[in-house]
Amino acid sequence: MEPVELVGLAQDSGKPLHHHELQPTSSSPAETIRTIRQEPSTSSDVEKGTLDHPGSSDGQPTSISALTEHATSAQHATAVPTLVNTQSSDKESCTGSRSASNEDRPSGNDSTAPIKDRGWQAWKFVLASAATEFMIWGASWGYGSFQEYHQQNPQSPFHHASLTATSSVGTTLLAGQHFVTLLTFGLYTMFPPLVKTFTYICVVGSSLSLLIASFSHSIALLILFQGLVYGMFSGNVFLAVILWLPNWWDERRGFATSIMFSGAGIGGIVWPIIFSQTLQRIGFRGTLRLWALLQLIISGGAVMCLKPGRKPPPTPKPLRWKSALPGFPRSLLSPVALLNIVVSLTQSTAYYSISLNISNYASSVGFSSTTSTAILSAFNASAAITYFVLSYLVDRFAYPLLMATSTTLNLVFTVLVLGFAGRSLTKIIVYVVFFGLTGGGFACFMTPMARDIPDRSRSHEFSLRFLYYITFRGLAAMVGPIIAVQVYPKHLGRESTYGSFGFTSFIAFISGTLALSTCASLAIFAHKRYLQPKQDRVKVLSNPVTPPAEARQQSGTVAA
């Protein structure tokens, strides 16, 4: 049998690309059969690559060719190996060079693809997203000013309402913002060209809900419009940001997300001051109307600056309304994803339990309302700084170690500082500042959590996984403080060396959740560092690469 060479037949040979011929080579007997296989695309946009190339969902190459596959030609994707005379290799090399030079040329929708991770347009998207965070989450973090006004100021129209009733407004507000995005995600993906229109509608709807709430004389209507309806509309404003973020930021997406969330941190500082001043000067109804106006102007202006980055695909026809229901990505059932859920639930439980109760703690041990508000502002301010710090770290270091460091420091400060704080204002301030610095920007980790998935063929589920992590965090923000209140002392006990006034159980609850979060973070690091590489090697060894059926058939013909 004469030696032959397995190469792809170029179009320059004058024959169709799918045509094959078998010729003996004039090479020396030392030559062997050479197979050149196309490697899978390594586009930095993993999400887009997965959606545009479903044929590669199994992680294996979709075609084999001696030449570099032409990036814009559909017929080149069907090229298969052929046996030809080696004298044509020079001509094929020239063709291969032309094909390779065309790979970098965008075609179709790729010609309008944005430059990722840099450029003014990408930064404008981040700044506009931060403005929406400032208005949505930052304002909701300032609801404590309304609750204090209703309980303490006789001029409030809801001064005689119970603490449970007034606090329900803030609870339903958080619930609407955290859960509605997951419920409407399917609807938004069904109508990609209408996403921005939906966002404008939500901006107007959130402003109208606050305006209607300003005329309310019933606590039930206040819960409905200032709480649930406003939370649902405002939460949906942020959904466009989640859907379009992968179009603008890829390798530095964690950095971009941190900058976006810093808008919420800044809002957590500014909005309590704004609400406190306006409630005293123009009253409750005037404050809500001013808030509605600012929501319309700032959020509306921010949405005008948000762009999808690439032309949205057309609305699929026929419409399948079942796809509007939120699906559950199977990738969330992986060991790393489950551990990330545990980390998110436990850390959020501890953080929001401190955030919602630290001012009450300060007031209960004898400090004035002004001092308690200042302590809460210091807590929010220190948390805002963390977003900027993590924006630098989250894309440069292993996120499980960063999470473990954050929760460990929170645990140390809770046990050693809050436990011995007592009536010491200095110790309380030190605690809230350092607790906020080390745990305030934990939401920045949701981006690497959502991107961390072993099966890259399902990387297009980033937005859906991100929304699920937001939902888990919102669930902890609602349920966690309720559980913490059960161990919060109803009546102050005696002052003691540790856990004064009966706060020992509360401190133990916070410490326990932080310890569990630390252990889960370290387990993620150990799995990714030691177990996952072994599993990948075993998977590679157990799935050997086999040549295509046509190549095997031709090899048998040559042997014959």
Please check whether residue 400 is in contact with residue 507, taking contact to mean a CB–CB distance below 8 angstroms. no
CA–CA dist 70, 88 (Å, integer): 19
More confident: 265 or 62? 265
How far apart CA 523 and CA 341 sit, in angstroms, is 13
> What tokens appear for 283 in the block?
């009253």
Same fold, 115-327 and 328-560: yes
Q: In this structure, what DSSP letter does residue 347 have? A: H
Q: What is the pLDDT of residue 239?
A: 85
Q: What is the pLDDT of residues 420-460, one digit of tens each?
A: 988 889 999 999 999 999 988 888 898 889 888 766 556 56
Q: Rounded to whole angstroms, how far apart are CA atoms 324 and 241?
A: 19
Q: Give the pLDDT confidence score for residue 31 in this predicted structure.
A: 43
List pLDDT tens digits, range 289-329.
999 999 999 999 999 988 887 777 777 777 777 767 777 88
Higher-confidence residue of 271 and 560: namely: 271
Cβ-based neighbours of 330, under 8 Å, separated by 6 or more: 458
Burial label, 466 (beta-carbon count in 10 A; 0-12, 13-18, 19+) = buried
pLDDT recorded at residue 96? 39
Residue 370 three-state SS: helix
Of residues 546 and 532, the one with the higher pLDDT is 532
The continuous run of DSSP H or E covering 145 comes out as helix 144-152
Q: Are 137 and 267 in contact (CB under 8 A)?
A: yes
CATH 2.115.10.20 at 328-560, yes or no: no
Is pLDDT above 60 for 169?
A: yes
User: Which residues, including other chains, have CB under 8 Å from residue 159's CB and lie 6 or more apart?
Assistant: 150, 151, 153
Q: Tokens for 200?
A: 């404008």
Give the dihedral sign, CA 490/494/499/504: negative
**What is the length of the chain?**
560
Please give the Cα distance from 34 to 32 (Å, whole number).
6
Whether residue 411 is predicted with pLDDT greater than 90 in this model: the reply is yes
- Top CATH class of 115-327 equals mainly alpha
Q: 268 and 198 in contact (C-beta within 8 Å)?
A: no
Query: Which residue from 180, 45, 40 is spatially nearest to 462, judged by alpha carbons?
Result: 45
Give the chain's end-to-end CA distance (angstroms, integer): 8
More confident position, 325 or 399: 399
Q: Helix crossing, 230-237 with 163-190: angle to 10°?
A: 40
- Above pLDDT 70, what percent of the chain? 72
Tens of pLDDT, residue by residue over 325-359, are: 777 888 888 889 999 999 999 999 999 888 878 87
Q: Could you give the CA distance from residue 493 to residue 484 in angstroms, rounded to a whole number?
A: 17
Average pLDDT in the 388-413 region?
A: 89
Delimit the domains of the chain by residue range.
5-110, 115-327, 328-560
The 10s digit of each residue's pLDDT in 177-235 is 888 888 888 888 888 888 889 999 999 999 999 999 999 999 999 999 999 999 999 98
> What is Dmax (Cα atoms) for the chain?
102
Residue 81 pLDDT: 38
Q: Which residues of 19-54 are buried (b: 16+ CB within 10 A; e: fewer)?
A: ebeeeebeeeeeeeeeebebeeeeeebbbbbbebee
Bigger pLDDT: 13 vs 493: 493
Q: What pLDDT, on a 0 to 100 scale, did the predictor assign at position 49? A: 37
Contact indicator for 558, 83 with CB cutoff of 8 Å: yes
pLDDT beyond 60 at 32: no
Amino acid 548: pLDDT:
59
Read off the tokens for 321. 């309304």
Burial 62-86 (b: 16+ CB within 10 A, else e): bbbbbbbbbbeeeebeebbbbbbbb
* Alpha carbon separation from 365 to 147, 232, 359, 415 (Å, rounded): 20, 37, 10, 18
Picking from 177, 178, 174, 168, the residue whose alpha carbon sits closest to that of residue 221 is: 168
